[in-house]
Structure 1
Amino acid sequence: MNFLKICRAALLLLLVTPATSSAQTVWNNKQCAVVLTYDDAIDVDLDNVVPALDSVKLRGTFYLIGSSGVVARRLPEWRRAAQRGHELGNHALMHPCDGSLPGRGFVTPDNDLSKYTVTRAVSEIKANNTLLAAIDGKTARTFAYPCGDLQIGGVRFYDQLQNDFVGARGVTGGLQTAAQIDLTNIDAYSINGQSAEYMLDLVKKAQQSHTLLVFLFHGVGGGHALNVDLQAHRQLLRYLKAHEKDIWVAPMVEVAEKVKAYQQRNPSTPR
């Protein structure tokens, strides 16, 4: 009887271990991956976020709008942030959003994605890549859709950019395994006023499910209409640092590269 129990346990281990091992391998041999992303190239990124991340030796992804005055005015600081391992991601040159959608009264005629051609959108995003490469000297990076808008006239413009990026971040919340991730529209939780407890609960769920968790921030301690409390953000960083043996915290480009490699090794895995 004991022999049969041992055999069953061994068989169960063989069945379970590969999946668990695979999940942990893609997350750098940890339980899960967490990516901290910050949109729009605003002053608080450099004033509040970069110092907070550096203080606990964590790295994030900053999605820069090429036309932002904060990029031009503080370019040496962005360069130093990149040198310390933060990713400077592409958030388009002009941050165009689809003004034809409900609630888009803030969209100006000049930056209305619904009035763009696909060629114009692609050209501006490529131009922003050139600018970012001039700042950080890097060729591998990720893209973030302005306002989460994927299409122009029913055409997904990112289809013409897949060779220019490792992946693209969207705005739909969700925890996903490496097999489930769509690298053309990576899920992310938008944070606007949620508590530290809410964010920590998401991290713990990612740990339990061995999934990728992406946070999408704008203002941190002010600076934007979409904002997270500075202390709540600090609590999140402290938890991630205290559990770094179990949680892989890395810029989006590094996580996306791992996911891409995993999916190429497992092409039959449904997504």
Structure 2
Amino acid sequence: MKSTFRILLIGFLFAVQCSFAQKATSTRWKGKQAAVVLTYDDALNVHLDNVVPALEAHQLKGTFYLSAFFPGSKSRIEDWKKAAALGHELGNHTLYHPCDASLPGRSWVSPDNDLHNYTTEQILKEILMTNVFLESLDGQKERTFAYTCGDTATGEGSFMEEIEDDFVASRGVRGALNVIGNINLLNVDSYGINGESGEDLIQLVKEAQEKNALITFLFHGVGGEHNLNVSLEAHQMLLDYLAENKETIWTTTMLDAAKHVKELQH
């Protein structure tokens, strides 16, 4: 009798555990299988000319990381204001886009733009000044950041924790899915895209769906204007897939995804 009762109790507890697990999974991404964040770096003209209209046609929103001194930022201020008014996120990508020239393959970085030669105070001033610029465009106080070239340190060391209180999250460049419980909002993983096909991009989203994960895409050129580029056709295929699967995929901005992750991981 006791043995039967024990078996029934174990079965009941297992059922309750499964029920809670299913509920947690179903509510993880607003009731969807996965979350997708589309990010675009460097304030390129193609982002305004190609990407924003394509996103709007699909009723999707993207995150655009602007380096304030870049031509595509300062010469198209009114267009960025319009993009923000449509609900697209304007993120911080520093003032001058410094990168660490001491790393392999960085011979293209000029001495005055070498993050390795910066002090931490210098990069912090540059980042905070860019926040002022972005607020003048969209009026927003909450914001996310994207490390330039994925670099997180000056010659004095890491500045990641120094900017933690200024941003809801910061996007990195490591190509990996983001799974609840293990998401580092100080350095969110993303897939840098360069030459992949539409099928390749869709397959990445399907993997995120299978693993109930957040996937972040990192685009530069879309149809040109950058040596890191994805074709218009491939980008369009990805947007088509996301739009056709809105019932199972939550496509959102980095800011909204990060705020949701904070709630879940707490």
Identify the TM-score tier after normalising by the shorter chain.
Answer: over 0.9
Q: For 1:134-145, list aligned pairs within 5 A.
A: 134-145=136-147
Q: How far does residue 22 in structure 1 lie from its aligned partner after superposition?
A: 2.2
Same amino acid, percent of matched pairs = 48
Counterpart in the other structure of 1:210: 212
Deviations 1:187-218 (A, max 9, x none): 00000001111111111111111001000000
5 Å-filtered alignment, 1:53-64, equals 53-64=55-66
Shift, 1:244, TM fit:
0.6
The one-character-per-residue Cα deviations of 1:221-258 (angstroms, maximum 9, x if unpaired) are 11110000100100000000000111000000000001
State whether structure 2 residue 250 is matched by structure 1 residue 252.
no
Distance (whole Å) between structure 2 residues aligned to residue 65 and residue 244 of structure 1: 31
Cα distance in 1 for partners of 2:91, 2:171 equals 10
* Aligned residue type for 1:109: P
Over 3 Å off, 4+ runs = 4-13
**Which sits farther off after the overlay, 83-92 or 6-15?**
6-15
Letter in 2 for 1:122: L
Give the aligned partner of residue 118 of structure 1: 120
Partner of 1:166: 168
**2:192 — aligned with what?**
190
Moved more, 21-30 or 172-181: 21-30
| 1:111 aligned partner, one-letter code | N
Asked if 1:71 corresponds to 2:73, the answer is yes
Q: How does 1:1-271 map to 2 (within 5 A)?
A: 11-153=13-155, 155-264=157-266
Is the contact between residue 118 and residue 155 of structure 2 (CA under 8 Å) also seen in structure 1? no
Q: Quick one: which amino acid aligns to residue 40 of structure 2?
A: Y
Distance 1:245 1:213 in 2: 17
Alpha-carbon offset, residue 154 of structure 1: 5.7
Equivalent-residue separation in structure 2 for 1:220 and 1:124 (angstroms) = 27
CA displacement at 1:26 relative to structure 2:
3.4
Give the whole-Å Cα distance in 2 for the aligned partners of 1:197 and 1:13: 39
**SS of residue in 2 equivalent to 1:67:** coil
Structure 2 alignment gaps of length 5 or more: 1-5
More displaced, 199-208 or 25-34?
A: 25-34
Once the two structures are superposed, what CA deviation does each residue of 1:41-78 show, in whole Å capped at 9, x if it has no partner?
Answer: 01000010000000000000000001011111111110
Q: Which stretches in structure 1 are left out of the alignment for 5+ residues?
A: 265-271
Give the superposed CA RMSD.
Answer: 1.8
- The normalised TM-score by structure 2 is 0.94
